[in-house]
Each structure stands twice: as structure tokens, then as C-alpha cells.
Amino acid sequence: MSPAEIIAAYTTRLGDNALVLGQRLTELVASGPELEEELANANFALDYIGQARMFYTAAAEHEGKGRSEDDFAFLRQEHEYRNLLLLEQPNGHFGDTLVRSVLFESWYLLLLDALVRCSDARLAEIAARAAKEVKYHLRHGAQWLVRLGDGTEESHGRVQASLDALWRYTGEMLEADELDAAMQAEFDGPDLADIATAWRSNVAALVADATLVLPQDAGMARGGKAGRHTEHFGFLLAEMQYLQRSYPGATW
């Protein structure tokens, strides 16, 4: 791959993560448990959609084929999305949504902090901006994890079940594939082995704070980074792409 192809593919993958989590959180708009949490969730969803736009716009320019951010978001096929499987998992209940965000964001923040030091100035700038948003999300999420984990017997049991169910999707975040390696070699990108070590210790501390039990790595799922998705993803895309597919080129 040429350097331009590497940065385009890598930035697209970051955009896919942001877009898919943003879409999942958007599905929850108008169903928050409290007015204030509703606003918080909608803010987070918007943060992610905003990040996706920045990543896709950068990717489109690196690619140089005249595609727009909308083409990336709405007019690709399922196998062309390279988001983590974790992020496409359904929202479930409040605890499921929360654990999904905390597991991802505790990794994503480390990744963004490393990307700030990469040699592509534009990506570094986007990463710095996104890191500020995600740092707050994680603060919010970590507090909730403690509230639920260290809360009632029922909340503890349910959030432990969420953690156990989603744990198998965390493996692929920590394993470098060819693109991660190329990004690291060519652009001084993140070292996923370092990030994995830091993530494991941060998550262990978070989970202990919340009086929960850290699950064992077993039957880890992977494939999202290569475009092989879980059954839920097609439904997410169908809803998200419906308008652009039915009314091509529709705008506000």
C-alpha cells in the first residue's frame, strides 16, 4: 500500500468506529431514562457523528477519488465498513450500552492520545479534538459503572452480565493487523501492544472500582476490522442508509 492508501484506509476505519457508535447512540435519542441523561447521550452521539465527519472528509481527500463524507457514510456495502464488532452490538439495556461505551472508550482514548503524536498533522489534529470529547464520555461512563456495579444487587448482577457478554468483542481492539502495522511503520502510528497493556490495567482498575469481576478471555470474536460483521450490522446499515438509498442525493 502507498502511504496515501494507508492513511486513507486507516482514517476510514476510525470514521467507521465513530459513525457506528454514533448511530447506535442516536437510536436511543428520545428514550433516555432521565432528561439529563437523555441530553448527555444525545451530546455523545453528536460528538461521534462529528468525529466521523472529520475522519471521512480527511479520508476522502487522501483517497482523491472525489468521494464525499456522505459517500463513505451512506453508500458503502456492509463488508466495506471496518468498525469494531463491539460497536455494532445492539444497545440492549442501559447497562449494556454503558459497558459497550466504557470498554471502547477506555481503549479509544489511549489510541487517540497516541495518534496525537503521529506524523500526519491533520489526523493528529482531529485526534486531539476527539480526545477531549472522549475523555469526558469516559468520565461519565466510569461513574455510572461504579454506580451500577456497586449499587443494588440487581444493578450489580445486570451490569456484570453486560460485561461478561461484551467482553468477547474486546479482543480485536488489541490485536494489530496489517493496517495497524503499516500505520505504525509509515506514520509513527499507535503501538497496539502498548495500548493493550495500558488498557488491560485501566479496565481492571475500573472494574475493581465498580466491584465487578473481570471476565476471562475466551472465544474472542474478531472480523470487524476486516469487514466481517455480526448479524446485527446489516440491520443497522439498513436503517441508517435507507434515506440515501431510496432518495439518492437527498439533502436538507
Residue found under cell 493496517: 179
Nearest CA-CA partner of 113 in 195, 44, 226: 195
> Cell 466481517, residue?
228
List the one residue from 40, 116, 128, 161 that touches other proteins (CB under 8 A). Answer: 40
143 is a contact residue toward other proteins (CB under 8 A)? yes
Binding track over 101-140 against other proteins, x by CB under 8 A: -----------------------------------x--xx
Regarding 43 and contact with other proteins (CB under 8 A), the answer is: yes
| Calpha distance 99→89 (Å, rounded) | 11
If one asks whether residue 156 binds other proteins (CB under 8 A), the answer comes out as no
Range 180-196 burial, b when 16+ CB lie within 10 A, else e: bebbbebbebbebeebb
Which span (36-44, 51-59, 186-194, 219-227) binds other proteins, by CB under 8 A?
A: 36-44
Residue 35 touches other proteins, criterion: CB under 8 A: yes
4 binds other proteins (CB under 8 A): no
Contacting residue, 34, 153, 154, 231, with other proteins by CB under 8 A: 34
Q: Does 93 bind other proteins (CB under 8 A)?
A: no
Stretch that binds other proteins, among 2-10, 34-42, 85-93, 211-219 (CB under 8 A): 34-42
Is 39 a binder of other proteins (CB under 8 A)? yes
Q: Does 231 bind other proteins (CB under 8 A)?
A: no
Q: Could you tell me the smallest distance in angstroms from the CB atom of residue 25 to other proteins?
A: 13
What residues make contact with other proteins under the rule CB under 8 A? 34-37, 39-40, 43, 136, 139-140, 143, 147
